[in-house]
């Protein structure tokens, strides 16, 4: 018999978070999260996403053992402002038992029907800065700290239960040696002169912080036209600033400004923390934070986390300025591999940015949809 119960207390939410640790035990491609960080994400008093969203966390039990989990989410900004009558689900993990998946998803359907919503989509988080999609290709590729990993049967379960593909995302990578300075060096100098632009580089996070609000504003402007985009609110800006910016290497943050000091482009790259997170195994103490600090300083692989260009400057080659600055930094750091976070398959503009670097698609993922 399958029983599905809501996780409400800290102890229950910890069980919710820890289930994948047993499901993927000894899996060399799964990258575990930090348990304390996940608990904060689910804390309604700490995560400002709950100002505009509601979420319920469910655990499935069978024979007194945890066999699955799911989060049912409504982003009310999406529903009320964008008129997308959608209930989301995320943080989905399950054993290979279709009946367990069915029982978990029923909780999502109930939330959607209760609020007169029209369809369900997932896996996805609260916002565009959360993880997204179920892996459909690339099961033998190391995950990242900003993607979910899963077994191949996840997508099969969705299809068997009547879900269809809603969006597809590609993950690409390329060796840094593919990045030739001649691809963009002369172009970026010409573009800087033509549009009176300048690049900003940083050595200390304190110098970055005065620009962060402008960066989030630019993020909202540059991604607004994409499907499923929900703007980052002012209170979320403060939350992400405190939670993440101080942990990013300042030299991996690049901005481009115009002559009036207006931010027109940005890029944030992070060292790969995947191996460090595997060693930490969900805990910062006693040694987990040392593994993360070592990766922050010495990792030779980097992940392109965010890149954005103001709509007024898109298709004008401004990205060449960002690439030039990154090339200089990566050369100094001895970077070997560049990894890109999931990008919508139909976002052709972003794919064109990387074409000269001969990237390979190593993972694909999807969100799935079902009408209620």
Q: Tell me: the pLDDT tens digits for 123-169? A: 999 987 799 999 999 999 999 999 999 999 999 999 999 999 999 99
pLDDT value, residue 227:
63
Whether 116 and 213 map to the same domain: the answer is: no
- 80, part of any domain: yes
Q: What is the reported pLDDT for 72?
A: 98
Kindly state whether residue 115 falls inside one of the protein's structural domains. yes
User: What pLDDT does 349 receive?
Assistant: 81
Q: Which of 169, 198, 217 is the last residue of a domain?
A: 169
pTM of the model: 0.93
The answer on 182 and 162 residing in a single domain is: no
Q: Give yes or no: residues 165 and 19 share one domain.
A: yes
Instruction: Identify whether residues 165 and 180 lie together within a single domain.
Output: no
Q: Which of 169, 189, 207 is the last residue of a domain?
A: 169
The pLDDT score that the predictor gives to residue 245 is: 79
Count how many domains the chain has: 2
Residue 371 maps to a domain: no
Whether residue 267 is found in the same domain as residue 159: no
Helix ranges restricted to H, the chain: 10-23, 35-41, 76-81, 98-114, 153-160, 185-195, 205-223, 234-243, 274-280, 288-298, 319-333, 348-353
Are residue 207 and residue 324 in the same domain, yes or no?
yes
Residue 348's pLDDT is 83
Q: Determine contact, residues 133/36, Cβ cutoff 8 Å.
A: no
Same domain, 152 and 206: no
Which positions of the chain have pLDDT values less than 50?
none
Structural domain of 218: 175-363
We report the CATH number of the domain holding residue 100 as 3.40.630.30
- pLDDT of 127 reads 83
State the pLDDT at residue 228: 64
Question: Is the same domain home to 137 and 12?
Answer: yes
Q: How far out from the chain centre does Cα 72 lie? A: 18
Whether residue 193 is found in the same domain as residue 157: no
- DSSP string over 308-334: EE-GGGTTTTTHHHHHHHHHHHHHHHT
211 plus 96 within the same structural domain: no
CB 300 within 8 A of CB 281: no
- Both structure tokens of 115: 């609020």
CA 7 – CA 14 distance, rounded (Å): 9
Domain closes at, from 169, 192, 207: 169
């Amino acid at each position: 018999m399958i029983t599905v119960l809501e996780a409400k207390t800290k102890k229950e939410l910890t069980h919710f978070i820890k289930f994948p640790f047993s499901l993927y035990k000894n899996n060399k491609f799964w990258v575990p999260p930090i348990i304390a960080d996940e608990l904060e994400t689910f804390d309604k008093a700490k995560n400002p996403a709950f100002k505009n969203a509601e979420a319920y966390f469910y655990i499935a039990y069978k024979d007194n053992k945890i066999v699955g989990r799911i989060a049912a989410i409504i982003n009310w900004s999406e529903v009320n402002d964008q008129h997308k009558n959608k209930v989301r689900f995320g943080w989905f993990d399950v054993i290979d038992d279709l009946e367990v998946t069915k029982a978990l998803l029923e909780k999502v359907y109930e939330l959607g029907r209760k609020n007169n919503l029209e369809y369900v989509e997932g896996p996805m988080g609260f916002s565009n800065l959360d993880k997204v999609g179920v892996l459909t290709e690339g099961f033998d590729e190391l995950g990242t700290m900003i993607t979910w990993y899963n077994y191949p049967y996840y997508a099969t379960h969705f299809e068997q239960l009547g879900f269809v593909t809603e969006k597809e995302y590609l993950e690409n990578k390329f060796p840094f040696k593919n990045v030739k300075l001649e691809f963009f060096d002369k172009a970026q100098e010409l573009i800087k002169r033509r549009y009176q632009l300048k690049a900003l580089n940083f050595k200390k996070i304190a110098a970055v912080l005065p620009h962060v609000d402008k960066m989030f504003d630019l993020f909202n402007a540059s991604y607004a036209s994409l499907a499923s985009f929900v703007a980052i609110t002012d209170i979320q800006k403060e939350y992400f600033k405190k939670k993440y910016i101080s942990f990013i290497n300042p030299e991996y943050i690049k901005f481009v400004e115009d002559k009036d000091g207006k931010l027109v482009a940005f890029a944030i790259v992070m060292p790969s923390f995947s191996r460090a997170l595997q060693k930490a195994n969900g805990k910062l103490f006693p040694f987990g934070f040392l593994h993360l600090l070592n990766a922050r300083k010495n990792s030779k692989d980097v992940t392109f986390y965010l890149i954005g260009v103001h709509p007024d400057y898109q298709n004008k080659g401004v990205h060449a300025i960002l690439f030039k600055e990154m090339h200089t930094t990566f050369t100094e750091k001895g970077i070997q591999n560049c990894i890109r976070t999931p990008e919508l398959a139909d976002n052709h503009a972003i794919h064109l940015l990387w074409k000269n670097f001969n990237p390979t698609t190593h993972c694909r993922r999807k969100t799935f949809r079902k009408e209620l």
